[in-house]
């Protein structure tokens, strides 16, 4: 675990306020449990071992942290992400005509069909209804 003792260093690190994914580095910005034996403080840096559900993560150091306690260090590599648009030309739930694919899942409503999920919103759209954007 690395620690930055001063808040100025925490603000100087490029971070994003979003749920972390496995393997990403995070920095503590608002500690929830500072009085426990596993106490951590502002500026402590950890590595995410697993993203359990939408409100929390686990670190390789064995801590469970709420999403409001940390920021993800660095920026996602947005250049390598697949972007899609609807074949109909209509916008996605986000209001954008092009969305960035987060994952491909089994369609929750249509058996045997795949669907895209997106970083821009919490929707899913059938792979059949989309095409890769240039």
Cβ-proximal residues to 8 (8 Å cutoff; 6+ apart), any chain: none
State how many domains the chain has: 2
Q: Among 28, 49, 73, where does a domain finish?
A: 73
Predicted local distance difference test score (pLDDT) of residue 108:
92
Q: Output the pTM of the full model.
A: 0.48
- Domain of residue 83: give its range: 78-132
CATH number at residue 51: 2.30.30
Of 29-33, 73-77, 98-102, 119-123, where does mean pLDDT reach its minimum?
A: 73-77
What whole-number distance in Å separates Cα of residue 30 and Cα of residue 32?
A: 6
- Give yes or no: residues 65 and 118 share one domain: no
Q: How far apart are CA 99 and CA 91, in angstroms?
A: 9
Output the pLDDT for position 13. 61
> What is the C-alpha to C-alpha distance for residues 84 and 133, in angstroms, rounded to an integer?
5
The verdict on 69 and 94 lying in the same domain is no
């Amino acid at each position: 675990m690395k620690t930055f003792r001063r808040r100025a260093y925490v603000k100087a690190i490029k971070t994003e306020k979003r749920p972390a994914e496995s393997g990403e580095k995070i920095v503590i910005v608002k500690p929830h449990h500072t009085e426990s034996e596993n106490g951590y403080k502002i500026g402590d840096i950890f590595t995410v071992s697993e993203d359990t559900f939408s409100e929390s993560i686990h670190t390789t150091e064995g801590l469970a942290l709420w999403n409001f306690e940390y920021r993800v260090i660095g920026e996602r590599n947005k250049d390598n992400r697949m972007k899609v648009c609807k074949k109909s030309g209509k916008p996605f739930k986000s209001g954008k005509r092009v969305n960035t694919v987060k994952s491909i899942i089994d369609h929750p409503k249509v058996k045997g069909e795949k669907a895209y999920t997106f970083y821009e919103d919490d929707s899913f759209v059938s792979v059949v209804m989309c095409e890769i954007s240039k």
